[in-house]
């Protein structure tokens, strides 16, 4: 096919795509047509000529990844997925309707060809950094370039303005992620109008300062506006020659072009164009203004050549994969296990041996967690992760492992650095860490974790929410879990955070009480059914290591709540999580001296408890025992469903204090005496 004919077919296919976008938004009565229309040439060029993908096998391991960070422009991607063969025309017609495959913003797990949920701006480009890191690590782990792929993301001004994109982009430059490509759709328009009122820096210079390769393609030519696909493809070809830096290509566009009277207007961002404007747009595009959802069979067949291109790429990859498997049986076996999600041989034994070695000496649960993490890491080669500059405090360093990064990038403190390094240094970038670890999980078969203080989970929260929404098994290690952390003061002392995290759907919040519960928490995180993410909440201060948990945690902890001490006919129930479990054991002893029999219940994970059968839940909290006290060094909010109308809470519903941990706990009511007093009050309510 000669270049002129090819270019003409491209232009016609792009025009047809824009017509479908306008019709879909108009039919839905809502949506974001402007950016989707002006982004269409970019997304078309990627799917048609750049991305290695197979529409017949959307999960093919050797594919490149494309992430639409500007998720509101979802139709730009949906239409290309239709043209490539992933979706049907009915899917396009069903845009933004209930149970369709084409929701307002792309959703992971719902639509074939969608690599992650996007919508909250900035997270797509940030998570893409994790995808790129995952490709590098998995390739090094399995010692094969087969697992290297390109990661492409398309973003707009809103993504660039969000701080998380700066966090992640800075780290990507440091990591020299040569497989990461960002295309910046620069139309200089957002909801409130011209971006000159909010975004005036030289974005290309900013990315160059991060250590990125930069380039620009300007559709605003001296002879007029021209959506030059060939110019974009030349820029891509040029960028691919640079392998030691991530790539940032700015494409200057006009929003909603060429809609008469609408192009360049912020009003096209989030509202349908209107019937008359859609007709005018179609006239400009050379389409029939009276036909809705117009699809030319010849153009569709031309676009569907992606199928053949994908099949050929996949066939070539699979030939190399079979050859690699034959020559590398151990790595091939590891790959197969990782892909299935199976745990390694010796997983349980590693934790059993650790528990056997534990004494009953007091230990911070963050330290217990570090021991469990390292025991698992010895048998699970695919486990890697790090911290937002708090590795020593979070106990999230895999002992003896190299740091993750390009060869030769080590420091005095961390001299060993390699693409197979298992220790990730995120810097003080909590939000980016959450997004990047999400990308690692989505972009590979490896497992990862990220650590910070519980107080700073607020910075990370949007990424935690996206992990929960996508139902991916991220592990958020959150230490320094209460006012007991002490002298750093109220700014660092979490109070509302436990209840806030528990309010998030599909997130398992686990607060173990001692070393044995902590080991069992790590075991259950990997062994539990489902893929929901986990937030592991850990103490800074030492807590007693209990003989009762040594006996009962293996069976009890996976159920979320279990009876540590009690019998039939108990008078009241004392319940707690984490460091307060030892406190209620002390209170139970005092009550027993008064002739009051108190049941002691450890509640490490409310989410796991709620999944248990009603019969089990009632066996832990019998209906007939109405006198109840819940104790936790945080907000009382999440405990009311367990204490009932006659119950009491010993919690902290105010900000912390400037004092030592023990002083703070005492001043804020975390004492045996206060628990006993509340228990007696509850007994009087019966």
Active site amino acids: 430
Q: Are 397 and 423 in contact (CB under 8 A)?
A: yes
Q: Where are the beta strands (DSSP E) in 174-252?
A: 180-186, 189-190, 193-194, 213-218, 220-221, 224-225, 247-252
Residues 584, 598: Cα–Cα separation, whole Å: 9
Eight-class DSSP state of 418: E
- Rounded Cα gap, residues 138 and 659, in angstroms: 46
CA neighbor of 339 nearest in space, from 491, 147, 92, 499:
147
8 A C-beta contact, residue 279 and residue 285:
no
Question: Residues 661, 509: contact at Cβ < 8 Å?
Answer: no
Tokens 């996949």 locate to 314
Query: Please, are residues 566 and 589 in contact by the beta-carbon 8 Å criterion?
Result: no
Q: Identify which of 98, 110, 102 has the alpha carbon closest to the alpha carbon of residue 20.
A: 102
Buried b (16+ CB within 10 A) or exposed e, 654-680: eebbebebeebbeebbbbbebbbbbbb
Question: CA 233, CA 485: separation in Å to the nearest integer?
Answer: 55
Q: At what angle do helices 33-45 and 229-240 cross, to 10 degrees?
A: 60
By 3-state DSSP, what share of the chain in percent is helix, strand and coil, each rounded to 5? 50, 15, 35
**Residue 98 CB-density burial (10 A; 0-12 exposed, 13-18 middle, 19+ buried):** exposed
Q: ∠180-186-190 over CA atoms, to 5°?
A: 120
Q: Which of 161, 242, 236, 171 is nearest to 203 (CA)?
A: 161
End-to-end Cα spacing for the chain: 86
In degrees rounded to 5, what are phi and psi of residue 453?
-80, 150
Provide the H-helix boundaries in 403-511. 430-443, 457-470, 497-502
Give bridge partners of residue 387 from the DSSP assignment.
425, 451
Q: Kindly report the CA angle at 616 between 631 and 476, in degrees rounded to 5?
A: 55
Nearest to 118 by CA among 463, 533, 506: 463
């Amino acid at each position: 096919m000669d270049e002129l004919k090819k270019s003409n077919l491209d232009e016609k296919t792009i025009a047809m795509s824009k017509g479908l976008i306008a019709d879909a938004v108009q039919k839905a009565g809502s949506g974001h047509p402007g950016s989707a229309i002006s982004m269409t040439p970019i997304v078309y060029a990627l799917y048609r000529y750049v991305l290695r993908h197979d529409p017949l096998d959307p999960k093919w391991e050797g594919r490149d990844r494309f992430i639409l960070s500007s998720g509101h422009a979802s139709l730009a991607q949906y239409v290309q997925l239709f043209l490539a063969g992933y979706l049907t025309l009915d899917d396009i017609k069903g845009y933004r309707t209930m149970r369709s495959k084409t929701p307002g913003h792309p959703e992971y797990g719902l639509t074939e060809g969608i690599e992650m949920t996007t919508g909250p701006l900035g997270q797509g480009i940030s998570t893409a950094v994790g995808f790129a890191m995952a490709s590098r690590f998995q390739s090094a782990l399995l010692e094969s370039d087969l697992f290297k792929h390109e990661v492409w993301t398309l973003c707009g001004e809103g993504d660039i303005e969000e701080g998380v994109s700066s966090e992640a982009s800075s780290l990507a430059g440091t990591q020299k992620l040569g497989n990461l490509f960002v295309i910046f759709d620069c139309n200089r328009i957002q909801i409130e109008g011209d971006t000159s009122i909010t975004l005036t820096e030289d974005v290309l210079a900013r990315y160059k300062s991060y250590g990125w390769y930069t380039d620009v393609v300007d559709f605003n030519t001296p002879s007029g506006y021209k959506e030059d696909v060939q110019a974009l493809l030349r820029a891509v070809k040029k960028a691919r020659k640079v392998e030691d830096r991530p790539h940032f290509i700015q494409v200057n566009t006009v929003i909603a072009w060429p809609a008469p009277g609408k192009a360049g207007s912020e009003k096209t961002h989030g509202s349908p164009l209107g019937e008359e404007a859609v007709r005018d747009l179609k006239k400009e595009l050379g389409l029939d203004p009276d036909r809705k959802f117009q699809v030319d069979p010849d153009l569709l067949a031309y676009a569907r050549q992606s199928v053949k291109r994908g099949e050929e790429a996949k066939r070539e990859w699979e030939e190399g994969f079979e050859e690699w498997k034959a020559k590398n049986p151990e790595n091939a076996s590891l790959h197969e296990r990782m892909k299935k999600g199976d745990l390694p041989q010796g997983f349980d034994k590693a934790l059993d041996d650790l528990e056997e070695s534990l004494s009953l000496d007091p230990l911070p649960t963050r330290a217990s967690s570090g021991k469990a993490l390292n025991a698992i890491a010895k048998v699970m080669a695919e486990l890697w992760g790090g911290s937002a500059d708090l590795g020593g405090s979070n106990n999230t360093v895999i002992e003896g492992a190299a740091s993750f990064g390009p060869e030769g990038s080590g420091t005095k403190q961390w001299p060993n650095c390699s693409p197979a390094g298992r220790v990730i240094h995120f810097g003080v970038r909590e939000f980016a860490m959450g997004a990047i670890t999400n990308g690692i999980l989505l972009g590979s078969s490896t497992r990862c974790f990220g650590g910070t203080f519980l107080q700073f989970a607020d910075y990370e929260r949007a990424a935690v929410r996206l992990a929960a929404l996508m139902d991916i098994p991220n592990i958020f290690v959150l230490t320094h879990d209460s006012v007991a952390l002490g002298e750093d003061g109220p700014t660092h002392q979490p109070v509302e955070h436990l209840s806030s995290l528990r309010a998030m759907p599909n997130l398992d919040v686990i607060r173990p009480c001692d070393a044995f519960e902590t080991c069992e928490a790590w075991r259950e995180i990997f062994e539990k059914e489902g893929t929901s993410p986990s937030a592991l909440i850990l103490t800074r201060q030492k807590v007693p290591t209990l003989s009762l948990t040594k006996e009962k945690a293996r069976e009890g902890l996976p159920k979320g709540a279990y009876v540590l001490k009690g019998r039939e006919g108990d008078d009241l129930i004392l319940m707690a999580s984490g460091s307060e479990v030892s406190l209620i054991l002390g209170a139970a002893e005092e009550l027993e001296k008064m002739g009051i029999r108190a049941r002691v219940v450890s509640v490490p994970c409310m989410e796991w408890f709620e999944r248990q059968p009603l019969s089990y839940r009632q066996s832990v909290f019998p209906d007939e025992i109405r006198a109840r006290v819940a104790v936790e060094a945080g907000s009382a909010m999440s405990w009311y469903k367990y204490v009932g109308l006659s119950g009491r809470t010993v919690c902290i519903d105010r900000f912390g204090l400037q004092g030592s941990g023990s002083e703070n706990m005492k001043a804020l009511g975390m004492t045996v005496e206060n628990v006993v007093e509340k228990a007696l009050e509850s007994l009087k309510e019966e």
